[in-house]
Amino acid sequence: MEFLLLFLMVYAVLDAIILAWFFFAPFAVQSGNRLSFGLGMLAYNFGYLTSNCHQMPQRSLLIGGFELPFCARDTAIYVGCIVAALLPFSGVKMPKYARSLSFAIVLMVPMAVDGISQTIFEMRESSNLMRVITGLLFGFGMIYYFAVRIVDNTKWVNVGVEWVKTLEICFVALLILFVAGYGMGNKYMSMNQAIGASGLKPSFVTYLSYRAMQTTKYDPYLSTYDDAVLREVKKYGSRGYGVWVIYEGPMEYNGKYVFFSGGNGTFKLIPDFSST
């Protein structure tokens, strides 16, 4: 059980680090600092591996026009998991029924219904608010049932020592993350570089990862989505690195849209919808 307690602590802290990293990513990708920029790019291009997230822009929460590297549902699941993993250490006593397996299942059912009715049966399109609510419930229900039992059965363990071990392990993980981020920062074209190369005065700039472009193309609810940028992304979404999307003028059909490969800028597309 002592190992399970350490595992729970490491899991909670690593989840919190990942979530903080992903909330930082929309700001990081706009940075001129190579380390900060690289951490942002790392989140968008490889962060989905932590949950196999589709990264569809329309199903993600936005910060300053940049979607988070997790979709709304996965972001909420992570929050629910962190709260559930840390709550038993807080000393807060939940009601007895909240510690039962049946209660955990009840919390997890809404997300299953929401997801299955949307993806498998294609009956409806969910909303980001619904994805957040059901994701929070699912994440909490999935972890709390096990977390409270682990903590209750290891009260004899010196928790302070286990927290020191946890921080040591997470420090190593952070070090690996920073090294990988610095390497990524030297691989990609920065936002300011892309803007400068475009020659435009952007009214809006965002980044779409390769993962987001691939999943967007195959989403049935976005197949007829009336958005000029998404329609172009579906055509040119297999160019490898993801793209910077730079808008000049109104974000309607009479604006200009420039797509730059995130890697080296060799891919450039300028549809001018004012002439169509």
pLDDT tens readout for residues 143-164: 999 999 999 888 778 888 999 9
From the number of C-beta atoms within 10 Å of its C-beta (0-12, 13-18, 19+), residue 5 rates as buried
Task: Give dist(CA 156, CA 138) in Å, integer.
Answer: 30
Is the pLDDT assigned to residue 205 strictly greater than 80?
Answer: yes
Q: Do both 81 and 170 map to the same domain?
A: yes
- Quote the mean pLDDT of the chain: 82
Same domain, 141 and 56: yes
Report yes or no: 138 and 113 within 8 Å, Cβ to Cβ.
no
Instruction: Name the amino acid, one letter, at 177.
Output: L
Shared domain check, 223 and 165: no
| Whether residue 8 sits in one domain with residue 92 | yes
**Closest by Cα among 221, 248, 216, 211 to 232:** 216
Residue-wise pLDDT tens digits, 25-77: 999 999 989 899 999 999 998 888 888 888 887 788 988 878 899 899 999 99
The CA distance from 40 to 30, in Å, is 8
**Residues 181 and 103 occupy one common structural domain:** yes
Q: Which residues contact 233 (CB under 8 A, 6 or more apart)?
A: 208, 213, 216, 217, 243, 245, 259
Contacts of 64 (CB under 8 A, 6+ apart): 26, 27, 30
Task: Verify that 93 and 212 share a domain, yes or no.
Answer: no
Is the pLDDT higher at 247 or at 60?
A: 60
Contacts of 2 (CB under 8 A, 6+ apart): 154, 157, 162
User: How far apart (Å, rounded) are the C-alpha atoms in residues 217 and 48?
Assistant: 17
My answer on whether 161 and 218 are in the same domain is: no
- Determine phi and psi for 118, rounding to 5 degrees: -85, -45
Same domain, 169 and 197: no
Residue 8 has pLDDT above 70, yes or no: yes
E strands along 39-129, which residues? 62-63, 66-67
Domain that holds residue 202: 191-275
Tokens 């059901």 identify what position? Answer: 134
Least confident of 22-26, 30-34, 196-200, 218-222: 218-222
Q: Closest Cα to residue 267, out of 218, 210, 228, 227? A: 210
Q: Where among 167, 185, 203 does a domain terminate?
A: 185
* Contact indicator for 104, 145 with CB cutoff of 8 Å: yes
Of the residues 159, 185, 211, which one is the last residue of a structural domain? 185
CA 222/CA 215 separation, integer angstroms: 10
Q: Is 239 buried (19+), middle (13-18) or exposed (0-12) by CB count in 10 A?
A: middle
Show which of 129, 160, 185 is a domain's final residue: 185
> How many structural domains does the chain have?
2
What is the amino acid identity at position 64?
G
Is 19 in the same domain as 120? Answer: yes
My answer on whether 25 and 109 are in the same domain is yes
pLDDT: which is higher, 71 or 221: 71
SS3 call for 256: strand
Residues 231 and 170 grouped into a single domain: no
Mark whether 173 and 256 lie in a shared domain: no
Token pair, residue 46, equals: 């490889």
